[in-house]
């Protein structure tokens, strides 16, 4: 979805265009609904196959924390073969990535703060996943 969105915004004048500003909110609503829907679908399918609610919750929480931490953004840059932008202001309003950058005293999201955000989400994820794996609901 990001590569499609990137191509579409460039056709309409790029990220600084009026079209982008008008379409940003509906596009992001669609993007997050799609992402959350996929996470829910994968978790429900896991539960249907394995019949372990705690592990299905672990699948969902793992996916949520990784996407909130910026894994999707890191993978986008890697798969597109793009260099990481020195500044990523579009991520500054993100509730997790942006708050990590703000806590670090930055005025925008940088590649370093993005990787710190991803690392933090992984550190939060490890004990939660271990606990849910043992829970066996």
The per-residue DSSP string of 38-51 comes to HHHHHHHHHHHHH-
**Dist CA 128 CA 125 (whole Å):** 5
What is the residue-level pLDDT of the chain in tens, covering all 137 positions? 566 666 766 776 766 777 777 877 888 889 889 999 999 999 999 999 998 899 999 999 999 999 999 999 999 889 888 888 888 888 898 999 999 999 999 999 999 999 999 999 999 999 999 898 888 77
Instruction: Look up the pTM and report it.
Output: 0.80
pLDDT of residue 6: 66
pLDDT of residue 15: 65
Helices (H), the chain: 2-11, 18-50, 53-69, 71-80, 97-103, 111-135
Phi, psi of 58 (to 5 degrees): -65, -40
Structural domain containing residue 99: 2-135
Domain count, the chain: 1
pLDDT of residue 111: 95
């Amino acid at each position: 979805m990001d590569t499609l969105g990137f191509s579409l915004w460039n056709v309409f004048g790029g990220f600084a265009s009026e079209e982008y500003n008008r379409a940003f909110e509906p596009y992001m609503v669609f993007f997050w609904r799609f992402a959350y829907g996929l996470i829910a679908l994968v978790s429900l399918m896991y539960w249907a196959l394995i019949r372990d609610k705690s592990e299905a919750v672990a699948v969902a929480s793992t996916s949520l924390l990784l996407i909130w931490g910026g894994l999707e953004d890191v993978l986008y840059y890697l798969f597109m073969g793009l260099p990481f932008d020195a500044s990523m202001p579009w991520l500054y309003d993100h509730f997790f990535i942006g708050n990590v950058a703000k806590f670090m005293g930055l005025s925008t999201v940088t590649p370093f703060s993005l990787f710190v955000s991803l690392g933090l989400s992984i550190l939060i994820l490890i004990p939660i996943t271990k606990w849910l794996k043992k829970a066996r609901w």
